């Protein structure tokens, strides 16, 4: 099942709901994909270093249990939370991360952004900007009892200023961009549905039909 949360939604209730869902699921529980647009928030991964949070200002900061460093979520960004049973699908987490990146790259290609790619040693999806790779999607996953939660954040059409308050994903000077800068005029709902379809396809999710 793909679940569309109200827009925008605070971060912490969704995070706690993911934890509860993962804790309660059984081998028969269908996978779910949650599509969320968050209120402004900085989130810190388990390995986050305080020096990467430069100037949070009035934006809330939440320490989470996902992988990765610090990132920003806010209006105009599609957050796809992937609640998948790795054991049932026969996947390892490294393969799942690769497939989530593939799904995001394909989503960007559908909207005419042809040069989206990976960056060695830095999970997420990148595009060329002024001759350098800039981040357009951030990825952070947690695995508990063989099941995943957290997921992929794709920048659609958003105010990118809050990224100046951090070293995005722990990289000083890393440029962050959004799809609108590349001439994409599609709205949030449209991109969210396309990303949902591609993640379901690439990651082999067993979603319920309800």
* Residues with active-site annotation: 169
For residues 93 and 58, is the Cβ–Cβ distance under 8 A? no
For residues 86 and 146, is the Cβ–Cβ distance under 8 A? yes
Tokens describing residue 128:
């060329």
Alpha-carbon distance 9 to 70, whole Å? 19
For residues 135 and 69, is the Cβ–Cβ distance under 8 A? no
DSSP letters, 117-134, are EEETTEEEEEEEETTEEE
């Amino acid at each position: 099942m793909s679940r569309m949360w109200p827009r925008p939604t605070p971060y912490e209730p969704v995070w706690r709901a993911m934890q509860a869902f993962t804790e309660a699921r059984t081998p028969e529980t269908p996978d779910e994909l949650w599509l969320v647009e968050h209120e402004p928030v900085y989130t810190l991964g388990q390995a986050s270093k305080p020096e990467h949070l430069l100037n949070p200002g009035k934006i809330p900061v939440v320490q989470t249990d996902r992988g990765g460093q610090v990132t920003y979520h806010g209006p105009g960004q599609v957050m796809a939370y992937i609640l998948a049973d790795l054991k049932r699908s026969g996947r390892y987490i490294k393969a799942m991360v690769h497939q989530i990146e593939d799904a995001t790259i394909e989503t960007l290609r559908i909207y005419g952004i042809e040069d989206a790619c990976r960056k060695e040693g830095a999970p997420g999806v990148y595009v060329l900007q002024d001759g350098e790779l800039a981040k357009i999607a951030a990825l952070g996953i947690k695995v508990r009892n063989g099941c995943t939660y957290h997921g992929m954040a794709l920048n659609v059409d958003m105010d990118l200023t809050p990224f100046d308050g951090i070293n995005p994903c722990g990289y000083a000077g890393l440029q962050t961009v959004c799809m609108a800068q590349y001439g994409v005029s599609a709205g949030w709902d449209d991109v969210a549905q396309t990303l949902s379809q591609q993640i379901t396809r690439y990651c082999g999710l067993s979603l319920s039909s309800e």
